[in-house]
Amino acid sequence: MDRFLLNNRKRASTLEDEEILPSTSREINGEERPLCVLCMKVLAPECMLPSKLKRHLEANHKYTIGKPRDYFIRKLKELKQEKSTFFKNASIPTNALIASYKVSYRIAKCKKPHTIAEELILPAAIDMVNIMVGESAGKLLSKVPLSNNTVSRRIHHMAEDLNDQLIEKIKEKEFGLQLDEATDNNKDAHLICYVRFIDGDDMVEDLLFCKNITASAKAQDLFDILNNFMSENMLDWIKCVGVCTDGARSMSGSYGGLQSLIRSKAPDALWTHCIIHREALAAKYLSPALNQVLDFFKKLCDDMGAEHSSLLYYSNARWLSRGNVLSRTFELRQEIYIFLKEEGHKYANDFF
């Protein structure tokens, strides 16, 4: 057991009820000083006396009085682990650390499992570098930390940083909120919130949060999730000038709905009905001629051996499906060009 109370020459003292005083020591300017493992405060050298350590405990950490010995031992171990992690990260070369973040970013972007880094990416990269550059470069590449836990931490750090940047921007500007309740593949309900604001000359729309709905999906429960997030991040309700939801009663109700609860905090917020849901409803009753066009286009794609046989509908996909729509359109640009050319459409050359 490491020292808890005095310097390394003395045995760790205990209170009358066999509790340990929660401190270790640190050397500063050649002088050993006690360090509290609870508040991380470095005390004066004369506080090495058990009586003064006990006074610090009673004055600053009353909640620990009566705690068993194992509690303080665990705190000391946690402190040692934090130090070990810090020095381990500090010893990583800067370029290797940057490379680790770059690879982790690409893994997250491609939605691949975190284990792919050390199982495939790093070994493959080392093999290529050994062949193309030399074994010395391969050994240097092997220093890049890409374990499963490391990649997970890198992604978490980047996500936190992006979230902090977004929150700081929102604090300075008026913003609008777009909310919807969604269910994932596991049938778990989530409250999704997007934020929209003006940043310079650009209109910015970004994901603010996605929270589990642990209670019911009533308006008050949804508002509590949103209000807690606003409070935790110190966002001012007064700067909320717009709210967009679907037409569900829990969302759009004028008396007791989510939008009315938000407007009780942000009186200037204007509520609007999400137009995408209305477009989706209207698209269900389009003329039969549209089905003929879709069938013809599908047959054309099949005859040409295209990877896809249809274009995606933006109104049928939720939220961020616009990127998928554009990607599919680009992949089928040749088929679209032939189809429009046969129909004599004036926009045919736009896909050439």
Residue 219 lies in a domain: yes
* Contact between residue 152 and residue 100 where contact means Cβ atoms under 8 Å apart: no
DSSP 283-311: HTT--HHHHHHHHHHHHHHHHTT-S-SSP
**Which DSSP state fits 282?**
H
**CATH label of the domain that carries residue 222:** 3.30.420
Domain annotation covers residue 16 = no
Q: Can you tell me the distance from the alpha carbon of 180 to that of 274, in angstroms, rounded to the nearest whole number?
A: 10
Same domain, 240 and 208: yes
253 alpha carbon, distance to own chain's centre: 31
Is residue 10 in a domain? no
Whether residue 278 is contained in a domain is answered as no
What is this structure's pTM?
Answer: 0.53
Q: Is 256 left (phi over 0), alpha (psi -120 to 50) or beta?
A: left
Do 63 and 145 fall within a single domain?
no
Q: What is the pLDDT along the chain (352 residues), one digit of tens a residue?
A: 344 333 333 333 333 343 445 555 555 555 677 777 777 677 666 666 777 777 777 777 777 777 777 777 777 777 776 655 544 554 567 888 899 999 999 999 999 999 999 999 999 999 999 999 888 888 888 889 999 999 999 999 999 999 999 999 998 899 999 998 888 778 788 899 999 999 888 899 999 999 888 878 888 889 999 999 999 889 999 999 999 888 777 888 878 888 889 888 998 888 888 877 677 777 777 767 777 777 776 776 776 666 655 655 544 444 445 556 667 677 777 777 787 777 777 777 776 6
Same domain for 291 and 216, yes or no, is no
Residues 178 and 268 in one domain: yes
Task: Based on the fold, state whether residues 82 and 117 are members of the same structural domain.
Answer: no
Number of domains in the chain: 4
What is the residue range of 258's domain? 174-273
